[in-house]
Amino acid sequence: MAIWNSRFKKSLAESALKFSSSIDLDGRLYNEDIDGSIAHIKMLSKAKVISKDDEKKIVHALEEIRKEISEGKLKLTWDKEDIHTAIEERLTEKIGETGKRLHTARSRNDQIALDEKLYLRKEIDKLIKLISSFQKVLLKKAEEHKLTIVPGYTHLQRAQPILFAHHLLAYIEMLQRDKERFCDLLKRVNKSPLGAAAFAGTSIQIDRNFTAKILKMDSIIENSIDAVSDRDTLIEFIAACSIVMMHLSRLSEELILWSSQEFSFVVFDDEYATGSSLMPQKKNPDFAELIRSKTGRVYGSLIGLLTVMKALPLAYNRDMQEDKFHLFNAIDTTKDCLKIITELFIHTSFNKNRFEEELKGDLSLATDLVDYLVKKDVPFRKAHHIVGKIVEKCVENNIKLHQLELKDYKKFSRKFENDIYNLFDPLISISNKKSAGSTSPIEVEKQIKKWKNIL
Ligand code: ARG
Pocket residue to mutate for ligand 1, from 318, 319, 325, most atoms within 8 A of Cβ:
318
Judged by average pLDDT, the poorest of 35-39, 231-235, 276-280, 323-327 is 276-280
CATH number at residue 46: 1.10.275.10
| One-character DSSP codes across 275-306 | --SS-TT--B-HHHHHHHHHHHHHHHHHHHHH
Per-residue confidence band for 177, with pLDDT thresholds at 50, 70 and 90:
very high
Q: Catalytic pick from 276, 293, 349, 385? A: 276
Q: Are 78 and 21 in contact (CB under 8 A)?
A: yes
53 shares a domain with 119 = no
Is the pLDDT score of 319 beyond 90? yes
The values of phi and psi at residue 162, to 5°, are -140, 170
Q: Are 208 and 51 in contact (CB under 8 A)?
A: no
| Predicted pLDDT of residue 9 | 86
| Mean pLDDT to the nearest integer, 340-365 | 96
| Predicted pLDDT of residue 25 | 97
Q: Which residues pair with 152 in a beta bridge?
A: 160
Atom of ligand 1 nearest to the CA of 26: 4
Mark whether 155 is an active-site residue. yes
- Name which residue sits closest to atom 4 of ligand 1, judged by CA: 321
* 84, 318, 327 from 120: Cα distances, Å: 18, 20, 9
| Predicted pLDDT of residue 279 | 86
- Name which residue sits closest to atom 3 of ligand 1, judged by CA: 321
Mark whether 84 is an active-site residue. no
Q: Residue 334: which of 275, 451, 249, 447 has the closest Cα?
A: 249
| Predicted pLDDT of residue 282 | 86
310 shares a domain with 436 = no
Alpha helices (runs of H) in 348-439, residue ranges in sequence order: 366-375, 380-397, 406-412, 426-431
Q: Are 54 and 98 in contact (CB under 8 A)?
A: yes
Q: Are 311 and 247 in contact (CB under 8 A)?
A: no
Cβ of residue 26 lying under 6 Å from some atom of ligand 1: yes
| Predicted pLDDT of residue 2 | 79
400 shares a domain with 333 = no
Tell me the pLDDT tens digit for each residue of 377-427.
999 999 999 999 999 999 999 999 999 999 999 999 999 999 999 999 999
Is the pLDDT score of 8 beyond 90? no
Domain boundary among 350, 378, 393: 350
| Predicted pLDDT of residue 323 | 98
Task: Give the integer Cα–Cα distance in Å for 110 and 231.
Answer: 12
| Predicted pLDDT of residue 160 | 95
Cβ of residue 21 lying under 6 Å from some atom of ligand 1: no
Is the pLDDT score of 209 beyond 90? yes
Cβ of residue 87 lying under 6 Å from some atom of ligand 1: no
CA atoms lying within 13 Å on the CB side of residue 400: 14
- Tell me how far the alpha carbon of residue 46 lies from the centroid of ligand 1, in angstroms: 27
3-class SS shares of the chain: helix, strand, coil, % to 5: 65, 5, 30
Domain boundary among 326, 350, 374: 350
Per-residue confidence band for 139, with pLDDT thresholds at 50, 70 and 90:
very high
Is the pLDDT score of 276 beyond 90? no
3-state SS, residue 175: helix
Residue 241: inside a domain: yes
- Tell me how far the alpha carbon of residue 57 lies from the centroid of ligand 1, in angstroms: 26
Tell me the pLDDT tens digit for each residue of 12-44.
999 999 999 999 999 999 999 999 999 999 999
The pTM of the full predicted model, rounded to 2 decimals, is 0.95
297 shares a domain with 208 = yes
Cβ of residue 66 lying under 6 Å from some atom of ligand 1: no
Task: Give the integer Cα–Cα distance in Å for 36 and 216.
Answer: 11
Task: Give the integer Cα–Cα distance in Å for 115 and 422.
Answer: 65
Contacts of 249 (CB under 8 A, 6+ apart): 291, 292, 295
Per-residue confidence band for 150, with pLDDT thresholds at 50, 70 and 90:
very high
Supply the angle between the helices 286-309 and 323-346 in degrees, to the nearest 10: 160
116 shares a domain with 27 = no
Residue 230: inside a domain: yes
Cβ of residue 439 lying under 6 Å from some atom of ligand 1: no
| One-character DSSP codes across 414-430 | TT--GGGGGGGSHHHHH
Is the pLDDT score of 1 beyond 80? no
* 31, 165, 215, 445 from 150: Cα distances, Å: 50, 9, 51, 17
Name the pairing type of β-strands 157-163 and 266-268: unpaired
| Mean pLDDT to the nearest integer, 160-172 | 98
Percent of the chain at pLDDT exceeding 70:
100
Domain that holds residue 83: 15-104
403 shares a domain with 309 = no
